[in-house]
């Protein structure tokens, strides 16, 4: 019997790598041998695949079956290879035409009754199949909307193994639908019966999309969603949030409990523009691998917001794991906002692990024989109390902490980490009069986001010939070479450097914030005013 070949995809980080599945059936003691560096979950596939094939009405070959996964040096993890292995075995047994499986990538887990179950990472896996040259992919029916986000592919969505085999054999009506979608531009998706052919093209999620900042009639927050206008008595903090949203800068919030630190951080996503197509696919791919895609929403179009608890481990924040490498909170917040509330309570090693992604915009997780990369370009928000007792400055009880205890508490946020934070804001307690008077000046998110979008458009136009789109993404060398402010604009920075108040890295970050201030003001470049204000924000005296 000739060797039959099918294909599947192995995920390493967010990258999909094509895997060739070869099945050979020969005389010998009946059994199934898997070779090619499979993990424990994949070794367990032997029993699942045998039960699924038998319960689908097919004959299990009562001979020695050898299944090889190539390249053998690439680790294969998870249950997403089940369908590809089952089809290759049946093709080697002669019950499925070998020609029918050529050029098809198979993804999905098999249930014991033959059902195709969804797996994590369908979007990056399908993207990897398209990059490898495949133009047809078979997935579980529930994963069709996600798989169809990758253009230029024929997506086969099968509810069961029996329905998929009938489609491959070109059999007629079986009573089970195999959805066939040609992904790309167009409208309308129609299911095809087993043996059918693609009838139309479709692009899921293109119609009826709601902008994340659209408000219902009745004013800001009328639909129950958070709104920036809810943060009263802190105009400088609202301005800082707008600056960070416009340029992608990191933010530190310091103040006693109850002054609005967490409230402000939770409202930053409401002033971030909706994700463009490429960014939405990046974010969706990460959440697909993590298994956190919202039900019924195959494409994430709103900037994500992630707020892990201070007891989270390093692997939970930056990614990793003892078995399958999963993205952490830093990657789940990609193109969005990562809030570390009560930041000094996080482990020192956890906080310092964020230094590298804050600089490079990605997380690199190295394991023996494997290196996974996850995108992690987010807006970091650090919220902290000024001391362990957390008593407000204006409270009757007053602070009972010694100066040494205060310094020790805030020293948990290391200097190198704070050096990477562009904007630092201190919150002070506010009285009733301040709260009432600020209501007339607090702007809703729907108004602020328009200024943020306009500033980002100016930055994108200026950076159109480069791979960057936000001021915070520009490397320091490129910033000094091609985007240096005009003569005299850096005078405040020069004085600060002479006094030793700022590091060389801090200078680059101040210049980036100054460019964002210029974009918000609609001027051609930073002036002395923008540079002075940006320096004050970096030093934490911008209130």
12-25: pLDDT as tens digits: 999 999 999 999 99
Tell me: pLDDT of 377 over 90: yes
DSSP code at position 57: T
Tell me: pLDDT of 425 over 90: yes
Joined together, the tokens standing for residue 95 give: 């019950």
- Same domain, residue pair 360 and 486: no
- pLDDT value at residue 324: 77
Domain-embedded: residue 507: yes
Percent of the chain having pLDDT more than 90?
71
- pLDDT value at residue 532: 96
Instruction: List Cβ<8 Å contacts ≥24 apart for 95-101.
Output: 95/58, 95/59, 95/165, 96/165, 96/168, 96/169, 97/168, 97/169, 98/2, 98/4, 100/168, 100/169, 100/170, 101/4, 101/5, 101/6, 101/168
Looking at the DSSP bridge assignments, the partners of residue 182 are: 154, 201
For position 307, which CATH number holds? 3.40.50.300
Q: What is the pTM of this model?
A: 0.88
Number of domains making up the chain: 3
Domain-embedded: residue 292: yes
Domain-embedded: residue 163: yes
Domain-embedded: residue 455: no
Q: What is the pLDDT of residues 258-310, one digit of tens each?
A: 899 999 999 999 999 999 999 999 999 999 999 999 888 899 999 999 999 99
Bridging pattern class, strands 177-183 and 201-202: parallel
- Same domain, residue pair 240 and 389: yes
Q: What is the mean pLDDT of the chain?
A: 88
- Same domain, residue pair 8 and 102: yes
Tell me: pLDDT of 368 over 90: no
Tell me: pLDDT of 440 over 70: yes
- pLDDT value at residue 350: 95
- pLDDT value at residue 520: 97
Domain-embedded: residue 132: yes
Single out the residue in 427, 442, 457 at which a domain terminates: 442
Q: What is the pLDDT of residues 383-414, one digit of tens each?
A: 999 888 876 555 555 778 888 988 999 999 99
Tell me: pLDDT of 327 over 70: yes
Domain-embedded: residue 164: yes
**31-40, 55-64, 207-216, 381-390 — which is least confidently predicted?**
207-216
For position 129, which CATH number holds? 3.30.230.10
Joined together, the tokens standing for residue 475 give: 């490397």
Domain-embedded: residue 490: yes
Single out the residue in 165, 185, 202 at which a domain terminates: 202
**182-196, 243-257, 307-321, 475-489 — which is least confidently predicted?**
182-196
Single out the residue in 202, 217, 248 at which a domain terminates: 202
- Same domain, residue pair 172 and 266: no
- Same domain, residue pair 195 and 255: no
- Same domain, residue pair 140 and 93: yes
- Same domain, residue pair 435 and 511: no
- Same domain, residue pair 83 and 121: yes
- Same domain, residue pair 419 and 366: yes
- pLDDT value at residue 306: 97
Tell me: pLDDT of 477 over 70: yes
Q: Range of 376's domain?
A: 230-442
- Same domain, residue pair 295 and 426: yes
């Amino acid at each position: 019997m000739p060797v039959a070949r099918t294909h599947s995809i192995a995920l390493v980080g967010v990258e999909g790598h094509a895997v060739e599945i070869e099945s050979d059936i020969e005389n010998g003691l009946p059994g199934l041998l898997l070779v090619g560096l499979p993990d424990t979950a994949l070794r367990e596939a032997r029993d699942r695949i045998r039960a699924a094939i038998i319960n689908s009405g097919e004959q299990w070959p009562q001979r020695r079956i050898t299944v090889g996964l190539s390249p053998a040096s690439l680790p294969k993890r998870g249950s997403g290879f089940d369908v590809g292995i089952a089809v290759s075995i049946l093709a080697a047994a002669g019950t499925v035409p070998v020609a029918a499986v050529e050029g098809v990538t198979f993804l999905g887990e098999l249930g014991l009754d033959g059902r195709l179950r969804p797996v994590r990472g369908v979007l990056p896996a399908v993207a990897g199949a398209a990059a490898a040259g495949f133009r047809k992919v078979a997935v579980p029916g529930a994963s069709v909307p996600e798989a169809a986000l990758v253009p230029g592919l024929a997506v086969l969505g099968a509810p069961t193994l029996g329905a998929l085999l009938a489609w491959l054999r070109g059999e007629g009506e079986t009573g089970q639908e195999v959805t066939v979608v040609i992904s790309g531009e167009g409208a309308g998706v129609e299911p095809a019966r087993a043996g059918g052919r693609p009838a139309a093209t479709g692009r899921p999620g293109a119609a009826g999309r709601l902008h994340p900042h659209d408000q219902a009639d009745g004013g800001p927050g009328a639909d129950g969603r958070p709104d920036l206008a809810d943060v009263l008595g802190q105009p400088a903090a609202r301005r800082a949030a707008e600056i960070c949203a416009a340029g992608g800068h990191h933010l530190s919030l310091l103040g006693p409990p109850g002054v609005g630190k967490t409230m402000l951080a939770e409202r930053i996503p409401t002033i971030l523009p909706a994700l463009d197509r490429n960014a939405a696919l990046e974010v969706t791919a990460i959440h697909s691998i993590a298994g956190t895609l919202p039900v019924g929403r195959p494409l994430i179009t709103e900037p994500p917001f992630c707020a892990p608890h201070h007891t989270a481990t390093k692997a939970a924040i930056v990614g990793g794991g003892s078995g399958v490498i999963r993205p952490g909170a830093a990657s789940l917040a990609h193109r969005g906002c990562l809030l570390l509330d009560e930041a000094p309570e996080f482990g020192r090693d956890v906080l310092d692990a964020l230094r590298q992604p804050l600089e490079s915009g990605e997380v690199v997780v190295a394991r023996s024989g494997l290196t996974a990369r996850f995108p992690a370009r987010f807006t970091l928000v650090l919220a902290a109390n000024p001391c362990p007792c957390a008593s407000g400055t204006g409270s009757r009880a007053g602070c009972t902490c010694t100066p040494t205890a205060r310094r020790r508490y805030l020293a948990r946020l290391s200097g190198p980490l704070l050096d990477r934070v562009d904007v630092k804001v201190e919150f002070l307690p506010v009285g009733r009069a301040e709260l009432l008077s600020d209501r007339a000046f607090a702007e809703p998110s729907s108004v602020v986001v328009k200024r943020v979008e306009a500033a980002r458009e100016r930055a994108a136009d200026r950076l159109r010939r480069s791979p960057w789109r936000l001021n915070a993404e520009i490397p320091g060398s490129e910033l000094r070479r091609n985007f240096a402010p005009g003569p005299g604009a850096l005078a405040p920075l020069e004085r600060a450097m002479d006094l030793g108040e700022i590091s060389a890295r801090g200078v680059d970050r101040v210049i980036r914030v100054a460019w964002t201030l210029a974009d918000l003001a609609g001027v051609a470049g930073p002036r002395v005013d923008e540079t002075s204000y940006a320096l004050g924000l970096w030093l934490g005296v911008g209130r």
